[in-house]
Amino acid sequence: MPGDSKPKPLYTADDLAGFVAERDLGFPGEFPFTRGIQPTMYRGRLWTMRQYAGMGDAEESNARYKFLLAQGTAGLSVAFDLPTQIGYDSDDAMALGEVGKVGVAIDSIEDMERLFEGIPLDRISTSMTINATASILLALYVAVARRTGADVKKLAGTVQNDILKEYIARGTYIYPVRHAMRIVTDLFAWAGEQVPEWNTISISGYHMREAGSTAVQEVAFTLANGMAYVQAAMDAGLEVDAFAPRLSFFFNAHNNFLEEVAKFRAARKIWAGIMRERFGAKNPRSWMLRFHTQTAGSTLTAQQPENNIVRTAIQALAAVLGGTQSLHTNGYDEALALPTEEAARIALRTQQIIACESGVANSVDPVAGSYCIESLTLRIEEEVAEYFQRIEALGGMLAAIERGWVQQEIQNAAYKYQRAVDTGEATVVGVNRFTRDEEPGIPTQRIDEALERRQVERVRALRAKRDAARWQAALDGVRDAARNGANLMPAILDAAESYATVGEIASTLREVFGEYEESVRI
């Protein structure tokens, strides 16, 4: 299986046979962007320091965002609760017990207003980790921006909108694959005109890595998903250079430090070639792989949680040396609960220390030319190419996902790693080596148990006071657009402004598109 090769104990120039520095490296800011997408990289501008946060209801999350901005974070990153992610309102029976538990509960435009109260939307960058309901949440964000008088054309940020990895690794899908792809490409087309500074997708390898993929699989499956989105958009009639500059990616920073640095470099180079050679993009911005990184949640341990501060620092440094455009660092207590303010502060300070004290931002691509880094980069390229061949043989990424092949590859890799941990072949400090008999407790974040009741009351009060005729007409517009093939986004935005809820809009689309049912493989 690609991705299984072990690192060598010593790397020399012999490991770079066939490597031509000008061809394979070039300069930062130049094709194939192995060394970074900007000529000056962090000497010109540091990466955006984001902290992913969302907890309970909109007021609690708003307070955390203001705390993070006061601590020096440069961009917001919104975590939504599970019902919001899969298109159920807080008073739906399917939401019982999950409201506000893993992120913020957003049911309507009123919740979105509370979430960003006092925060100027046209002066900050906001990332929203949302997929199946991405079109609805972006519409709510734009609707709130309009209400506050913000210039919608200046809104900056990212909506994840990467539905394919939901079928592969995460599970917060709603609609059948090909209907879901239509929603994605409709958002591409609409946002390109209405919110031109917005990144319309964050093609994510993060969750596949969290599910147990190798570094090679993370790159291969993420870029294969990217190709599927580009092809779908072109098939829908969009010109590649009209949407490709706003594509972005989202990778995991894991523990194998040198491999991770090489992984990011390889991904940039491979994507540049794909966009220029396979899809014929002419705009150099279409060739650039711009990416956000999050440190690896799956590596955090409940045992000796303070050790997670060290893990996160190593992973963050790998992302920086790999040339990330933005970065989230996990709180050390996240294996136990949502992060406390103290844990979030330490996570942010980790980035600030790397930026201001380590010196790595003072040189553009300081690892270039390393025998080890360059040979690992080449190996990852070669093994990713093998995976591309296998995917093509299966009929492309959509077919490979629908057959469950991608999912099985990741499951096999996850099983192999867990076996290594169980047997002691792989060490997890504090878990299977260097353990302690007793674990001291640490303060953890707690969600108010009364929050769910309050959120249910809010959404029911909203339904009671809205203009029923306007609301019904707006939902009929969503249904009609879904049936007749029109771009869905104008109708969804109208519904959001008419006080339709997330669950109502999602259910209207369910009526037309149906729901995805995963095939079970044993």
Q: Whose structure tokens read 């997670």?
A: 308
Query: Measuring CA to CA, which residue among 96, 162, 169 is closest to residue 130?
Result: 162
Q: What is the DSSP letter of 520?
A: P
Residues 461-516: tens digit of each pLDDT = 999 999 999 999 999 999 999 999 999 999 999 999 999 999 999 999 999 999 99
* Domain range list for the chain: 13-43+118-423, 468-513
CB 466 within 8 A of CB 496: no
Biggest CA-to-CA distance, the chain: 74
> Which residue numbers in the chain have pLDDT < 50?
522
Cβ neighbours around 443 below 10 Å, total: 11
CA dist., res. 115 & res. 63, Å (int): 9
CA dist 64 → 340, 385, 411, 433 (Å): 10, 43, 36, 36
Top-tier CATH class for 13-43+118-423: alpha beta
Q: What is the DSSP letter of 21?
A: H
CA dist., res. 270 & res. 368, Å (int): 17
Residues with Cβ < 8 Å from 87, sequence gap 6 or more? 132, 133, 136, 174, 502, 503, 505, 506, 507, 510
Query: Measuring CA to CA, which residue among 111, 140, 117, 137 is closest to residue 496?
Result: 140
Amino acid at 291: F
Q: What is the DSSP letter of 148?
A: H
Q: What are the backbone dihedrals phi and psi of residue 295, each rounded to the nearest 5 degrees, phi first? A: -65, 160
Q: What is the DSSP letter of 437?
A: S
pLDDT at residue 192, rounded to an integer = 93
Q: Whose structure tokens read 């994507």?
A: 271
Residues 129-144: tens digit of each pLDDT = 999 999 999 999 999 9
Query: Measuring CA to CA, which residue among 212, 53, 164 is closest to residue 516?
Result: 164
**Which 3 state secondary structure label does DSSP give 476?**
helix
CA dist., res. 87 & res. 169, Å (int): 18
pLDDT at residue 522, rounded to an integer = 47
Cβ neighbours around 430 below 10 Å, total: 18
CB 77 within 8 A of CB 129: yes
pTM of the entire predicted model: 0.93
**Which 3 state secondary structure label does DSSP give 157?**
strand
> Cα 479 from chain centroid?
29
Two tokens, residue 209:
């890595």
Q: Are strands 125-129 and 247-253 parallel, antiparallel or unpaired?
A: unpaired
Helix 502-513 × helix 134-148 angle, to 10°: 140
Q: Is omega for the bond preceding 32 within 30 degrees of 0, making it cis? A: yes
Handedness of CA 425, 426, 431, 437 (dihedral sign): positive
pLDDT at residue 4, rounded to an integer = 55
Q: Whose structure tokens read 């878990």?
A: 431
| Full DSSP string of 213-245 | --HHHHHHHHHHHHHHHHHHHHHTT--HHHHGG
CA dist., res. 143 & res. 497, Å (int): 6
